[in-house]
Amino acid sequence: MPATDYQGSSAPLTNLGRSLLSLRRDQVHAMESHHDGSSAASLEVELESFQRQVADRFHDLSSVPSDELLSLPWVRKLLDVFLVCQEEFRVILSNNRAQVNRPPMDRLVADFYERSVKALDVCNAIRDGIEQIRQWEKLLEIVLCALGDTSNVNNNSNTNINNGNCYQRTLGEGQFRRAKKALIDLAIGMLDEKDSGQALAHRNRSFGRNNNSGSHSRDHHHRSLGHFRSLSWSVSRSWSAARQLQAIGNNLTAPRGNEVVASNGLAMPVFTMGCVLLFVMWALVAAIPCQDRGLQVHFYIPRQFSWAAPILSLHEKILEESKKRDRKNACGLLREIYQMEKCSRLLGELADSVQFPLNEEKEAEVRQRVKELGHVCEAMKEGLEPLEKQVREVFHRIVRSRTEGLDSLGRHNAE
């Protein structure tokens, strides 16, 4: 695992973390000329508490059962963690303005703002991705509407559209035709862009849909689904989430001993927040569909940081998830996407195999699948909108803290 262990030959890095903090403790006396003793001590408390809080929060995130990892509630919790960390970080910086405006902190903080502004594009891409998932959810609703019973559908409906007309009670060929259409659209929509071409043909076969079915406008429809996806990205075609992550992580290295000392220890939270930013953005890209996803980002985090272990363990778990056979080509590792994909595939296969009239056994099986699909749909409905709002909040907070920081740096330079 290249990302986890940093056993470089550079000796100073091997005993970073705690040792740096204690190194700094030794230097406190030297620093007291800049800082009166009590505030130096309270700064120390502040910094150590920040490190501990970050560690605790990521420990919480990493200790969830494996079936909760990468679920919508988990991703939302991850963003909550980010927002809290970001806020504490902001407070630390604004409590220590004088120090922050001096070298080497001015440079370190400016670097951090550069990193964070790169995360804004990820936020926008994720917002598009959430919109995309919503489109899939709408197709699922059609399936539920076709094969579900009325009450089920109505419970699922959060639109205020007056639409209680999904009245089918028996499952006939008609309902299956309708559901299959939506399932095919869904399958095409969920294909990763890279393999959409060949897999499209495959999908059509596996759904037992004769290739010459449908009118020309239907053909157009299928072509346009791919097109539709490209429409839903608001960034340029050449934008790449993978490259953006790399840019965020560029030169993100633990501060050197002299930087820690010269910054009165403040270099530590800057590095910590840089890692939190990178990891959170990376996890979002892992979970949510977006343009050119790629998870090959390396995390060089010295183990001595108390939060390193939970973050690296999460990183490892998510990477493992992405390497699973059935997830390799997934358009996002979000658990709900996986369930959606699995349920809809099974249901599609079932729909292809059924004979009419339906025997009881088959019908029960279909009902079961539909029920599962209903649960996924429910989870999406509950989670996507708050998630979208949170992503937007992350965007705002990053902008606000950067603006605040740059203003202060600008004013300082003028003095």
Partner 1 sequence: MEPPENSNKDSNGFEMAEKIILRWDSTASEDARERMIFETDRQEADLYLQAVDEIQRSLSNASISSSSNNNTVSTGGDDQSKVNTTIQIAMARLEDEFRNILLTHTSALETDSLFDPTSSAASTPHAQEFEEDDNSLSHHSTSSNSLLNLQHCESSDSSSYRSTSSIREVDLMPAEAIADLQAIAMRMISSGYLRECIQVYGSVRKSAVDSSFRKLGIEKLSIGDIQRLEWEALESKIRRWIRAAKVCIRILFASEKRLCEQIFECVGTDIDDACFMETVKGPAIQLFNFAEAISISRRSPEKLFKILDLHDALMDLLPDIEAVFDSKSSDSIRVQAAEILSRLAEAARGILSEFENAVLREPSRVPVPGGTIHPLTRYVMNYISLISDYKQTLIELIMSKPSTGSRYSGDPSTPDMEFAELEGKTPLALHLIWIIVILQFNLDGKSKHYRDASLAHLFMMNNVHYIVQKVKGSPELREMIGDDYLRKLTGKFRQSATSYQRATWVNVLYCLRDEGLHVSGGFSSGVSKSALRERFKTFNAMFEDVHRTQATWLIPDAQLREELRISISEKLLPAYRSFLGRFRSHIESGKHPENYIKYSVEDLETAVLDFFEGYPVSQHLRRRSQ
Nearest distance, CB of residue 195 and partner 1, angstroms: 22
Q: Is 152 in the site for partner 1 (CB under 8 A)?
A: no
241-254 burial code (b ≥16 CB/10 A, e <16): bbebbbbbbeebeb
Q: Could you please report the per-residue DSSP string of 288-334?
A: S--TT----------TTSTTHHHHHHHHHHHHHHHHSTTTTT-S---
Going from the C-alpha of 56 to that of each of 85, 265, 309, the distances in angstroms are 11, 20, 11
Nearest distance, CB of residue 89 and partner 1, angstroms: 19
Q: Mark the segment that binds partner 1 (CB under 8 A) among 8-16, 219-227, 273-281, 318-326.
A: 219-227
Q: Is 319 in the site for partner 1 (CB under 8 A)?
A: no
For the record, the structure tokens of 110 come out as 């400016």
- Cα–Cα distance for residue pair 157/166, rounded to 1 Å: 11
Q: Mark the segment that binds partner 1 (CB under 8 A) among 1-9, 67-75, 265-273, 398-406.
A: 398-406
Q: Could you please report the per-residue DSSP string of 254-279?
A: PPPHHHHHHTTTTHHHHHHHHHHHHH
Candidate list 31, 47, 75, 142; residue touching partner 1; CB under 8 A: 142
Site size toward partner 1, by CB under 8 A: 69
Phi and psi of 192, rounded to 5°? -70, 145
CB 67 within 8 A of CB 335: yes
Candidate list 83, 235, 319, 354; residue touching partner 1; CB under 8 A: 235
Q: Is 352 in the site for partner 1 (CB under 8 A)?
A: no
Nearest distance, CB of residue 399 and partner 1, angstroms: 5
Q: Is 91 in the site for partner 1 (CB under 8 A)?
A: no
Residues 195-214, one symbol each (x = binds partner 1 by CB under 8 A, - = not), give: -----------------xxx
Q: Is 239 in the site for partner 1 (CB under 8 A)?
A: yes
- Cα–Cα distance for residue pair 254/413, rounded to 1 Å: 26
- Cα–Cα distance for residue pair 151/371, rounded to 1 Å: 12
Q: Mark the segment that binds partner 1 (CB under 8 A) among 15-23, 191-199, 256-264, 400-408.
A: 400-408
Q: Is 355 in the site for partner 1 (CB under 8 A)?
A: no
Q: Mark the segment that binds partner 1 (CB under 8 A) among 120-128, 275-283, 327-335, 367-375.
A: 120-128
Candidate list 99, 152, 175, 272; residue touching partner 1; CB under 8 A: 175
- Residue whose CB is less far from partner 1, 120 or 346: 120
Residues in 22-51 at the binding interface with partner 1, rule: CB under 8 A: none
- Residue whose CB is less far from partner 1, 239 or 300: 239
CB 301 within 8 A of CB 336: no
CB 148 within 8 A of CB 120: no
Residue keyed to tokens 């501060």: 255
Q: At what angle do helices 173-190 and 105-147 cross, to 10 degrees?
A: 160
The dihedral formed by the CA atoms of 380, 384, 386 and 391, expressed in degrees to the nearest 10:
150
Candidate list 18, 52, 324, 411; residue touching partner 1; CB under 8 A: 411
Candidate list 170, 251, 353, 355; residue touching partner 1; CB under 8 A: 170
Candidate list 118, 293, 315, 335; residue touching partner 1; CB under 8 A: 118
- Cα–Cα distance for residue pair 260/246, rounded to 1 Å: 25
CB 38 within 8 A of CB 282: no
Residues 246-275, one symbol each (x = binds partner 1 by CB under 8 A, - = not), give: -x----------------------------
Candidate list 87, 173, 195, 326; residue touching partner 1; CB under 8 A: 173
CB 264 within 8 A of CB 34: yes
Nearest distance, CB of residue 332 and partner 1, angstroms: 18
- Cα–Cα distance for residue pair 207/184, rounded to 1 Å: 7
Q: Is 151 in the site for partner 1 (CB under 8 A)?
A: no
Residues 6 or more apart whose CB falls under 8 angstroms from that of 307 comprise 51, 54, 55, 58, 59, 272, 275, 276
- Residue whose CB is less far from partner 1, 91 or 231: 231
Q: Is 167 in the site for partner 1 (CB under 8 A)?
A: yes
Q: Mark the segment that binds partner 1 (CB under 8 A) among 3-11, 14-22, 62-70, 133-141.
A: 133-141
Residue keyed to tokens 């869904």: 186
Residues at the interface with partner 1 (CB under 8 A): 117-118, 120-121, 124, 127-128, 131, 138-139, 141-142, 145, 159-163, 165-170, 172-175, 177-178, 181-182, 185, 212-218, 220-221, 224-225, 227-228, 231-237, 239, 244, 247, 357, 392, 396, 399, 402-403, 406-407, 410-411, 413-415
